[in-house]
Structure 1
Amino acid sequence: MANKVKQLWASGKAVVNAWLAIPSGFSAEVMAQCGFDSVTVDIQHGVQDYQSMVACFQAMNGHPVTPMVRVPWNEPGIIGKVLDGGAYGVICPMVNTKEEAEAFVQSCKYPPRGTRSNGPIRAGMYGAGGSYQDTANVETLCIPMIETRTAVENMEAILDVEGIAGVYVGPSDLGYSYGLVPKLDREEPEILKIYDKLLKECDKRGIYPGIHCSGPAGAAKNIAMGFKLVTLLNDSGIMATAAKQWVGETRQNSGGKA
């Protein structure tokens, strides 16, 4: 299976990414039909676990989206397991140093670049028998998260690690680490300055920067800034936003009867 994220990046376009917090194959199936380029299962802060991740991947397998995962932590066991389950991209939280970035890549890649154990129990079904290992190191994406003051201080060293395809900004934690209110769409000059530097450093190295957004307005703004992957909130947030809007409109237009 071709990695659509890589194809879009190579064409110069930005990727529009979905985020699954709900542990439901049906929810994943619905989201996969909505026009997203990639769909990320969140097993860090979402209500997902490994089994629900696999169910989500199975549900969206018939749709032209690239399956990705945000793992709970920079730990080789879970990183290898989500890749074996079919993830084509791994987003890893709280990568703060060059050493942590190197350890992340090592966990994602087969030898000789890395130390990933061989056993793509489900991922192997995406290609012809035995061919998965031939392309996995190239096709699977290592995407560390830059979301702390320490990571910003080590930005260039992190980006210099061979095998990193992109980086992912967690705006909420990033702002929080600078003593600001945790939120997704940031306007503070000190944070925008960090974004500007990150975008320039990524461009120098051919690395693709991504960011989490609260909705389409923030996503469009970040694409205009130069981000190459934007996530639109998450499935539960989108559902809640639409439900609140519709309930509010119904009450408002009921003439006081609802």
Structure 2
Amino acid sequence: MTFKQIWESGRAVLNGWLSVPAGFATELMARQGWDSLTVDMQHGLIEYGDAVRMLTAITTTGVIPMVRVPWFEPGIVMKSIDAGALGVICPMINSRAEAEAFVSCLRYAPRGRRSYGPIRAALIHGADYAQRANDMVTGFAMIETRAALEAIDDIVSLPELDAVYIGPSDLALSLGEAPRFDPVDSPVHDAILHILARAKHHGKRAAVHTGSAAYARKMVDAGFDLVTVGSDAAFIAQGASAAVQAFHGGT
């Protein structure tokens, strides 16, 4: 299954988040029914070698492999795709020029400047990978600052950009609010819906990070094409906490 196939079927992508640098934890997540999983190299504890092992675990299933790169730097963007990622989320894209530089790393010439060497990508995505790669890889520019909000039409009108990904915590900080997931009745919530509207106006997909399944469902109902719910680290902590509390509550 691909992003395009899911979206053309009329439903949103349910994305899981990986912060724990462990292949087995990734395998566990990959077998829970997610459409896609994102290896977080920005705020997680994950180095490139960890990411490759985690992408390997994901691709033992039909789950779509994604990476959030630490920052925009052409080398890590291209290496992530060469390792097999079919989606790349890039943090802190604040202008059309930054978005253009990012997406140029996702495409082979003449559409971009990605260097050829899909050492693992060709192994798992097929012998004709080079011919299909430009349309297989989906790029998500993170919109998470006031500057990006003000430049949103310039960013989402860029032809080669596939989608935007809203980071609510940094967006909240940039707008003078406390960072948190799942905002309601606030300038951050209004900004999220504005970004969604502008993305749709320009024919782009929109994604958002959420902290709960209930809020994610609301975002899908509002028109989002991809929603992230929680993370492996959060699920471990929540499950452990619930067990401890149940034990103490039962004595």
TM-score normalized by structure 2?
0.97
Contact residue 9 and residue 208 of structure 1 kept, 8 A: no
Tell me by how many angstroms 1:127 deviates.
3.4
CA distance in 1, matches of 2:70, 2:80: 11
- The residue that corresponds to 1:119 in the other structure is 117
Structure 1, unpaired ranges of 5+: none
- Contact 2:167–2:209 (CA under 8 A) maintained in structure 1: yes
Report what 1:205 is aligned to: 202
Q: Deviations over 1:79-137 (max 9, x none)?
A: 000000000000000000000000001111111111000000100112333x1110111
Q: CA RMSD in A?
A: 1.1
Where in structure 2 are there 5+ consecutive unaligned residues?
A: none
Residue range with higher mean Cα deviation, 109-118 or 212-221: 212-221
2:219 is aligned to: 222
**Are the aligned partners of 2:58 and 2:64 in contact in 1 as well (CA < 8 Å)?**
no
Is the counterpart of residue 83 in structure 1 residue 103 in structure 2? no
Deviation at 1:193, TM superposition (A): 2.0
- Alignment-derived partner of residue 48 in structure 1: 46
1:45 and 1:72 in contact (8 A); partners too: yes
Of the candidates 134, 148, 155, which is equivalent to residue 158 of structure 1? Answer: 155
CA distance in 2, matches of 1:201, 1:153: 11
Query: What's the counterpart of residue 20 of structure 2?
Result: 22
- 2:169 corresponds to 1:186: no
The amino acid that maps onto 1:158 is: I
1:104 alignment counterpart:
102
Which residue matches 1:64?
Answer: 62
Structure 1 residue 206: Cα displacement: 2.2
Aligned to 1:243: 240
Deviation at 1:239, TM superposition (A): 0.9
Q: 2:132 aligns with which of 127, 130, 135?
A: 135
**Secondary structure of the equivalent of 1:108?**
coil
CA drift of 1:6 comes to 1.9
What is the aligned residue count? 251
One-letter code aligned to 2:171: L
- Residue of structure 1 equivalent to 2:142: 145
Aligned mates of 1:74, 1:128 — CA distance in 2: 27
Name the CA distance, whole Å, in 2 between partners of 1:23 and 1:6.
Answer: 28
Tell me the CA shift for residue 62 of structure 1: 2.0
Say whether the 8 Å CA contact 2:209–2:229 is kept in structure 1: yes
Q: 1:23-59 CA distances to partner (integer Å, 9 max, x unpaired)? A: 0110110000000000100000001111111101111
Question: Which amino acid in 1 is paired with 2:81?
Answer: L
CA distance in 2, matches of 1:54, 1:33: 18
Q: What residue identity is the alignment partner of 2:233? A: S
Could you tell me how far 1:146 is from its partner in structure 2?
Answer: 0.1
How far did 1:150 drift? 0.2
- 2:166–2:208 CA contact under 8 A, matched in 1: yes
Pick from 35, 38, 43: which aligns with 2:36? Answer: 38
User: How much has 1:192 moved relative to structure 2?
Assistant: 2.2
| Mapped partners of 1:189, 1:28: distance in 2 | 35
1:171 aligns with 2:168: yes
Question: Which runs of at least 4 in structure 1 moved beyond 4 Å after TM superposition?
Answer: none
Identify the range of structure 1 (209-218 vs 25-34) with the bigger mean alpha-carbon deviation.
209-218
